[in-house]
């Protein structure tokens, strides 16, 4: 029989005809009519007018007809709630039917009808069905609870269905267990804090037993649920892993991926020296590779997940490079993903093969793919130094093809190679210059200009080349304009004699004829620099570039951890947390990997920078590297007015001084009237010596480019405390505190004479202490202290004294002498006075250091009741010489990566997590000398709370 005829009846008056047929006495005719109705419904016609007539057909013993009517009901009940009630009786009756298939059908359909009145009637039949003797009915009822919860959560709770559902986890039938788990997981998602899925070793055991027996889909539900469990210890973790590993041989890829998720997560808890840990790692590779022989859509899902797995645990697939080679017939989405993974797995061992492949790919048809392949060649050069030469020659070959987009892409990557290996491959510049005319994409043009500017001294006609770009200055994109500006200034600094005119021209184009504030700002800064101090300009503009990272597009570690918990799901396909694409409360709670017994460090990674390294700022990747490279120092180190730092080392400080000076004249001087004045005019009067709050608005724009660091608020100084009570000091009372002012540690004391006689001849001495604090000069109490008189003294300290470890670390024993006696007391100085001004680590160095420091040295603690946003916190901390290197925002949570340096040269790296709206901050400290962590915490707390 064919049903397609139902699709073709499109006459007018059709509804009327159908009505007649629906009310016919003949069963066959009725069924035919209902089929027509369903067909119309499918193609999008409105057949809701037939509602009563269709519902009348419901009372039938023909199961097929009944199913059709139910289908109709599910579609239209919502638009006709009153009439839908007519169906309730039949539903309730069907729930009592002796045939379990009909009982299940009734309860299944009833749950799909989202009409309040019907829902009320659903409760009783559902309760019965949940305890039905037939497993088919029970498994259907279990899902129905989730349906009901979606309609009316309160009702489900009030009726106690949740408890019944929980009981079903112990059901004898595996499919009932699986559906109950699925339903409970879904309900639990909308109640993040409820303990609904109370996973304990007993239930886990039940789930693992059901896992062996239920359908492939049920196995997925159970594995996904297991992944939410956190085992108590490594033993439990191992025993679950052992029972999950057989699933890796399942034919269903989703079962395999969900099993991989459980294993990846629980593996975190296993000590790495355990034999089983190694076995498990070995077991994971083959199933992942097998996923690549699945259908292309599944391959895509698998590849997106493998991309995550490779970032988290590169050792799993490091020998499997070949399977990621692109096949000619792969769909483009598979090709692009494979290429991504190839770059990640590239290492010295396999680089020759990889390069040969990439070269092949660069001649393919798909433009995106070819571009990515060319880019990949550049990445290889940067990642594996030994291969750099071959990569460069490959790129040159590709440039010779003269295929426009290949050439452009190649130039972009060659720029990065120049930066990574300076003074090595500049011989190719000539070839690059030949292709100047064919560049039409901003990124390629910008890269070319960068190369010309950077190597101006080696290119004879650099001025001509740059000038040629200058003609269409205003038609260029911002990226090119900025680059051109910097390029020409570089050229000028290198060949000042011939290019004066050119630089004038570009500066005036940038500052006077442009609407772009970034461009104008940069123009003014250069102008000012060049006109006040060309030597400094040279130091700033021709400064050494920050290193470029070997890995790009690394997923931020906390996000990566979260995504690992979502392996197999959409989140892992999009590489976004669920909250980024799911509406409402569902699935929004963040998942994290469990902390391991040994450490949280992911692996002893054989390849640097591929493990969990906090990517300080992704903007250091080469494409914009130059922009930041030039302005980087300015971005992150605003002039500090309260604590003028002693110039420590070269460039960074130089830039700061210059800017301070430059700004003064910029504000006060001739430029006040130009368009920029709007931004600068306001703060001009208020700026030095201290930035007042409203003034910072305009400046923020300028200084807030990268790090989100605003104005420092000055170093934190704790209030004075009583150090020596008069009782013990024979009338001399000393209270005091420590401060750091202008880079000098000050011991500030109030001396009060509570005795009856005059005190003179004050002197002070420190016992040996942890950081070698010692008075830098004598205690300056010049006049005798008369009875009841107080005097404020400030004693500068240095850190050149003898060292002895104290407990607590920041304890200081002091002896004060006067004409009466010698008094001893001990006090504790805040660690923050030891934070030196040059504690700003370069972001690259930060990355490397963070990774270098073993995880055992990491300590974490929370600071409660701190009502600041991350910017304010960053400002506060900066005032005390805790420098924010980079900031990331993930899911409303700001992550500040900070560094500080103690006077004795110990670096402390910190990660500060600030959840918007939450008063609790989490600080993680990493330091090679973990003993200092505790004291640093105290300072953090004191600074932030203050």
According to CB under 8 A, which residues from 511 to 530 bind other proteins?
A: none
Sole binder of other proteins in the list 81, 127, 128, 135 (CB under 8 A): 135
Which of helix, strand or coil describes residue 818? Answer: coil
Selection from 416, 358, 733 nearest residue 546 by Cα: 416
CA distance 615 to 554: 7
User: Shortest Cβ distance from residue 236 to other proteins (Å)?
Assistant: 19
Which of helix, strand or coil describes residue 786? Answer: coil
CA distance 674 to 665: 14
Does position 2 bind other proteins by CB under 8 A? Answer: yes
Does position 333 bind other proteins by CB under 8 A? Answer: yes
CA distance 304 to 406: 26
Segment near other proteins (CB under 8 A); pick from 123-131, 349-357, 439-447, 811-819? 349-357
Rounded alpha-carbon distances, angstroms, from residue 321 to 200, 256, 286, 302, 352: 40, 21, 13, 15, 12
The residues, any chain, with a CB within 8 Å of residue 279's CB and separated by 6 or more, are none
User: Shortest Cβ distance from residue 253 to other proteins (Å)?
Assistant: 5
Segment near other proteins (CB under 8 A); pick from 233-241, 362-370, 866-874, 891-899? 362-370
What's the farthest any 2 CA atoms get from each other in the chain? 123
How many residues does the structure list for the chain?
Answer: 946
**Rounded to 5 degrees, what angle do the CA atoms 695, 697, 703 make?**
105
Number of chain positions touching other proteins (CB under 8 A): 118
User: Shortest Cβ distance from residue 250 to other proteins (Å)?
Assistant: 6
Sole binder of other proteins in the list 545, 566, 840, 926 (CB under 8 A): 566
According to CB under 8 A, which residues from 594 to 653 bind other proteins?
A: none
Does position 146 bind other proteins by CB under 8 A? Answer: yes
Does position 182 bind other proteins by CB under 8 A? Answer: yes
Selection from 266, 143, 135 nearest residue 213 by Cα: 135
> What tokens were used for 9?
């009846």
Does position 45 bind other proteins by CB under 8 A? Answer: yes
Does position 28 bind other proteins by CB under 8 A? Answer: no
Determine which helix (DSSP H) or strand (DSSP E) holds 737, and give its type and residue range. Answer: strand 732-741
Chain centroid, CA 75 distance in Å: 42
Does position 46 bind other proteins by CB under 8 A? Answer: yes
User: Shortest Cβ distance from residue 24 to other proteins (Å)?
Assistant: 18
> What tokens were used for 845?
């160095």
Does position 81 bind other proteins by CB under 8 A? Answer: no
User: Shortest Cβ distance from residue 52 to other proteins (Å)?
Assistant: 18
Determine which helix (DSSP H) or strand (DSSP E) holds 642, and give its type and residue range. Answer: none
DSSP string, 500-524: HHHHHHHHHHHHHS---HHHHHHHH
According to CB under 8 A, which residues from 210 to 269 bind other proteins?
A: 212-213, 215-217, 220-221, 224, 243, 245-247, 249-254, 256-258
The residues, any chain, with a CB within 8 Å of residue 620's CB and separated by 6 or more, are 546, 548, 549, 628, 843, 844
Sole binder of other proteins in the list 329, 427, 649, 783 (CB under 8 A): 329
User: Shortest Cβ distance from residue 339 to other proteins (Å)?
Assistant: 14
Dihedral angle sign, alpha carbons of residues 392, 397, 402, 405: negative
> What tokens were used for 648?
């420590």
According to CB under 8 A, which residues from 97 to 126 bind other proteins?
A: 98-101, 104, 108, 111-112, 114
Nearest CB to other proteins, comparing residues 94 and 551: 94
Does position 3 bind other proteins by CB under 8 A? Answer: yes
Per DSSP (E only), the strands in 356-492 are: none
Does position 332 bind other proteins by CB under 8 A? Answer: yes
Does position 43 bind other proteins by CB under 8 A? Answer: yes
Nearest CB to other proteins, comparing residues 309 and 503: 309
CA distance 754 to 735: 13
Sole binder of other proteins in the list 122, 302, 489, 912 (CB under 8 A): 302
> What tokens were used for 867?
């009502």
Does position 353 bind other proteins by CB under 8 A? Answer: yes
Per DSSP (E only), the strands in 41-182 are: none
CA distance 263 to 281: 9
Does position 789 bind other proteins by CB under 8 A? Answer: no
According to CB under 8 A, which residues from 389 to 408 bind other proteins?
A: 401-404
Rounded alpha-carbon distances, angstroms, from residue 815 to 725, 769, 786, 812: 14, 13, 21, 10
Does position 32 bind other proteins by CB under 8 A? Answer: no
According to CB under 8 A, which residues from 267 to 296 bind other proteins?
A: 286-287, 289-290, 293, 295-296
> What tokens were used for 359?
């070269």
> What tokens were used for 575?
């590489």
Does position 699 bind other proteins by CB under 8 A? Answer: no
Nearest CB to other proteins, comparing residues 346 and 797: 346
User: Shortest Cβ distance from residue 675 to other proteins (Å)?
Assistant: 38
The answer to whether residues 911 and 896 touch, using CB atoms and an 8 Å cutoff, is yes
User: Shortest Cβ distance from residue 46 to other proteins (Å)?
Assistant: 4
Nearest CB to other proteins, comparing residues 37 and 739: 37
Q: What would the x/- binding string for other proteins be over residues 47 to 76, using CB under 8 A?
A: -x-------------xxx--xx-xx---x-
According to CB under 8 A, which residues from 568 to 597 bind other proteins?
A: 568-574, 578, 581-583, 586-587
Does position 327 bind other proteins by CB under 8 A? Answer: yes
Nearest CB to other proteins, comparing residues 104 and 263: 104
User: Shortest Cβ distance from residue 199 to other proteins (Å)?
Assistant: 19
CA distance 160 to 118: 19
User: Shortest Cβ distance from residue 112 to other proteins (Å)?
Assistant: 8
Does position 79 bind other proteins by CB under 8 A? Answer: yes
Nearest CB to other proteins, comparing residues 76 and 850: 76
The answer to whether residues 506 and 467 touch, using CB atoms and an 8 Å cutoff, is no
User: Shortest Cβ distance from residue 578 to other proteins (Å)?
Assistant: 4
């Amino acid at each position: 029989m064919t049903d397609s005829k139902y699709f073709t009846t499109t006459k007018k008056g059709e509804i009327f005809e159908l009505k007649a047929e629906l009310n016919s006495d003949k069963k066959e005719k009725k069924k035919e009519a209902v089929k027509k109705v369903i067909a119309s419904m499918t193609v999008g016609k409105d057949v809701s007018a037939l509602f009563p007539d269709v519902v009348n057909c419901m009372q039938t013993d023909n199961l097929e007809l009944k199913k059709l009517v139910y289908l109709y009901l599910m579609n239209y009940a919502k638009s006709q709630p009153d009439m839908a009630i007519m169906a309730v009786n039949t539903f309730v009756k069907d729930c009592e039917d002796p045939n379990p298939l009909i009982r299940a059908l009734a309860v299944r359909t009833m749950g799909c009808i989202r009409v309040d009145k019907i829902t009320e009637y659903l409760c009783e039949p559902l309760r019965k069905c949940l305890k039905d003797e037939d497993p088919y009915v029970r498994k259907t009822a279990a899902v129905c609870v989730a349906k009901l919860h979606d309609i009316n959560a309160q009702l489900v709770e009030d009726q106690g269905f949740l408890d019944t559902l929980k009981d079903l986890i112990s059901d004898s039938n595996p499919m009932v267990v699986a559906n109950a788990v699925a339903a409970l997981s879904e309900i639990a998602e909308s109640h993040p804090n409820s303990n609904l899925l109370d996973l304990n070793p007993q239930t886990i055991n039940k789930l693992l037993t059901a896992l062996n027996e239920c359908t492939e889909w049920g196995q997925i539900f159970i594995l996904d649920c297991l992944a939410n469990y956190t085992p108590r210890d490594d033993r439990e973790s191992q025993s679950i892993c052992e029972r999950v590993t057989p699933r890796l041989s399942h034919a269903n890829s989703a079962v395999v991926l969900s099993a991989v998720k459980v294993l990846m997560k629980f593996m975190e808890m296993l000590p790495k020296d355990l034999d089983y840990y190694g076995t498990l790692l070995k077991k994971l590779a083959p199933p992942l590779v097998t996923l690549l022989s699945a259908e292309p859509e599944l391959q895509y899902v698998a590849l997106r997940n493998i991309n995550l797995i490779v970032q988290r645990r590169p050792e799993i697939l490091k020998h499997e490079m070949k399977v990621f080679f692109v096949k000619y017939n792969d769909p483009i989405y598979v090709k692009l993903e494979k290429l991504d993974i190839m770059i990640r797995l590239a290492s010295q061992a396999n680089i020759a093969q990889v390069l040969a492949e990439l070269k092949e790919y660069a001649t393919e048809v798909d433009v995106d793919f070819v571009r990515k392949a060319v880019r990949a060649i550049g990445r290889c050069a940067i990642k594996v130094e030994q291969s750099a030469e071959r990569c460069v020659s490959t790129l040159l070959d590709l440039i010779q093809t003269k295929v426009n987009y290949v050439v452009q892409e190649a130039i972009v990557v060659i720029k990065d190679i120049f930066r990574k290996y300076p003074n090595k491959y500049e011989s190719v510049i000539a070839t690059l210059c030949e292709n100047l005319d064919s560049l039409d994409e901003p990124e390629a043009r910008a890269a070319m200009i960068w190369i010309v500017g950077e190597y101006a001294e080696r290119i004879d006609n650099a001025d001509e080349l740059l000038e040629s770009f200058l003609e269409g200055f205003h038609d260029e994109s911002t990226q090119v304009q900025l680059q051109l500006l910097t390029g020409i200034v570089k050229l000028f600094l290198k060949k000042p004699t011939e290019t004066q005119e050119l630089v004038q021209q570009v500066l005036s184009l940038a500052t006077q004829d442009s609407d772009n504030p970034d461009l104008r700002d940069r123009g003014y800064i250069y102008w000012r620099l060049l006109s006040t101090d060309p030597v400094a300009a040279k130091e700033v503009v021709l400064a050494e570039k920050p290193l470029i990272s070997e890995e790009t597009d690394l997923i931020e570690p906390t996000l990566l951890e979260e995504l690992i918990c979502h392996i197999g799901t959409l989140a892992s396909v999009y590489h976004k947390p669920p909250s980024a694409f799911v509406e409402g409360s569902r699935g929004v709670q963040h998942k994290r990997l469990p902390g391991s017994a040994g450490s949280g460090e992911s692996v002893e990674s054989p390849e640097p920078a591929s493990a969990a390294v906090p990517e300080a700022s992704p903007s250091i990747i080469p494409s914009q590297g130059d922009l930041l490279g030039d302005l980087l120092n300015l971005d992150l180190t605003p002039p500090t007015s309260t604590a003028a730092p002693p110039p420590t080392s070269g460039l960074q400080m130089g830039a700061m001084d210059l800017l301070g000076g430059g700004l003064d004249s910029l504000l006060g001087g001739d430029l006040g009237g130009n368009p920029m004045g709007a931004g600068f005019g306001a703060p001009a009067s208020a700026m030095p010596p201290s930035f007042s709050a409203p003034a910072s608005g305009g400046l923020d724009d300028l200084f807030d480019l990268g790090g989100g660091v605003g104005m420092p608020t000055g170093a934190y100084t704790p209030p004075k405390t009583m150090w020596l009570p008069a009782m013990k000091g024979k009338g001399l009372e000393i209270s005091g505190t420590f401060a750091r002012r202008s880079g000098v540690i000050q011991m500030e004391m109030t001396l009060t004479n509570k005795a009856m006689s005059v005190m003179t001849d004050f002197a002070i001495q420190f016992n040996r202490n942890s950081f070698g604090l010692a008075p830098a000069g004598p205690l300056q109490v010049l006049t005798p202290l008369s009875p009841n008189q107080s005097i404020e003294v400030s004693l500068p300290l240095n850190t050149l004294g003898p060292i002895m470890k104290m407990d607590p670390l920041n304890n200081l024993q002091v002896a004060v002498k006067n004409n009466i006696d010698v008094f001893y007391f001990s006090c504790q100085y805040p660690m923050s006075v030891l934070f030196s001004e040059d504690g700003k680590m370069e972001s690259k160095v930060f990355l490397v250091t963070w990774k270098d420091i073993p995880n055992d040295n990491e300590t974490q603690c929370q600071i409660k009741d701190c009502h600041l946003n991350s910017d304010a916190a960053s400002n506060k901390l900066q005032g005390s010489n805790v420098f924010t290197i980079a900031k990331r925002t993930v899911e409303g949570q700001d992550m500040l990566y900070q560094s500080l340096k103690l006077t004795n040269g110990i670096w402390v790296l910190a990660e500060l997590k600030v959840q918007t709206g939450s008063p609790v901050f989490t600080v993680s400290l990493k330091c090679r000398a973990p003993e200092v962590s505790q004291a640093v915490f105290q300072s953090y707390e004191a600074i932030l709370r203050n």
